[in-house]
Amino acid sequence: MQITGGKHRGKYLKTTASPKVKITARRIRESLFRILFRKVGARRFLDLCAGAGTVGIEAISRGALIGTFVERSAKMCNFIRKNLQSCGIKEGHGEIYEMEAMPFLKRMTKRRRFWDLVYFDPPYEMDYNEVLKYFEKGALVSPNGTLAIEHHAEMFFPKNIGVMKRWKVVVRGETAISFYERKI
């Protein structure tokens, strides 16, 4: 797995070979950042259900100020740490939370933390609705911020999720990304 653009372009990242882990494909990452390229620089990026942290590290490579990685697996969090180190990303630019998405959302909502870009890539069998209820109210996504949801191409999300309004859907093979913007 290789970084596709930015400062760390071409660097290889470590990940597991487990078939249980769904890795965001190179063409999906390239499509994501082709669409978000003007929104990444000097912004805060949240990689929710981060896996090995590939998408968040891509964001840092492309100029994101800070990458926050949320992953429930200790093994995958270890991969994120190693990948940050191998890319030479300083400690203050990447923060890792080893926890489930829902407890993280609850904690950060109470703390009133916001990110400019949120990338949500859960296992496809996860119940998306529970997490999306947080985004309905604008939790975690800063005003005019973007929420990108990676999902199976056959899944469909509504045009509006509370204060979040969908502005684009990209389909590449069996994978899709739905883009939402938080309206003030």
- φ and ψ at 40, to 5 degrees? -85, -45
Task: Please report which confidence band the pLDDT of residue 126 belongs to, taking 50, 70 and 90 as the band edges.
Answer: confident
| Contact in structure between 143 and 105 (CB atoms under 8 Å) | no
pLDDT at 123: 84
Does residue 1 have a pLDDT over 90? no
What pLDDT score does 125 carry?
79
**Phi and psi dihedrals of 80, rounded to 5?**
-60, -50
Token reading at 148? 């990108």
CA angle 80, 168, 173 (to 5 degrees): 65
Q: What does R_g of the chain's alpha carbons equal in angstroms?
A: 15
pLDDT at 58 over 80: yes
Residue 180 has pLDDT above 80, yes or no: yes
